[in-house]
Chains A and B, each alone.
Chain A
Amino acid sequence: MKTLDELKKIREDAKKNLELRNTDKTIRVVVGMATCGISAGARPVLQTFVEEVSKRKLHNVQVVQTGCIGMCTYEPIVEITMPNEEKVTYVFMDTDKVKKVVSDHLVNGRVVVDYTIGALK
């Protein structure tokens, strides 16, 4: 170890992993992971959320899984809750859609209307 900057670089890298253990976050991404969700491909969806959130250093976003959300035909389902805003429900998610939701919705605050449950009707 030669410089303080070198140490700080290692720290930034290591922090990504530890960020998961912080529970004081206000934005929640909930991925439905019951049997139906998993068979529809919820696991890669969840993993992509984790990776994208970390890559973009979104320290205020918690990515959690939950059980059956109750609309099995629309799985994989993802719900995003921002403070003081209504919950947004995305359906038929896949890894490409996740990347767009992260950049548009989580980073820029623009809901990706096409993927939401509202767009189905």
Chain B
Amino acid sequence: MQKAIDIKENTDKFEELLRYIESQDKSQGILMQTLHKAQEIFGYLPIEVQKFISEKTKIPMAEIYGVATFYTQFSLEPKGQYTVGVCMGTACYVKSAQLVLDRLQQELKIKVGETTEDNVFSIQATRCLGCCGLAPVMMIGEDVYGKVDPKDIPNILKNYR
């Protein structure tokens, strides 16, 4: 279920988005960067925001929804306060990243793509983060944890609660 967003409470955010849309050159395929901007402002892409973009850019809603659901980085659901990303690049995988992910899901009692009930953590299986020298790698928010041992996960998580 999507959580509805109150348009009245978020007028500032909608105005910021509108200013961005108006600053763009309409001839050059602006949907992708508009969605990036909207997600940056709202944290996710609720249906109201997509409708708003459709209205202002004259791009059909179906097309916007199609694009928003095609790319894994766009989210229609709000995320927890921290996104815990486990790198599932090949280098991390051959160094047992799956065990890290398993342990994380077990500790937080949620699956990949879900958010904990207290809205603190979301789990994501991410693409290669490019720090293969530190494999297996886990990210919490902006913090990177390298050479993660599944046993250390409960202790690492404690720092964020």
**Direct contact between the two chains A and B in their complex (CB within 8 A):** no
A binding-site residues for B, Cβ under 8 Å: none
B binding-site residues for A, Cβ under 8 Å: none
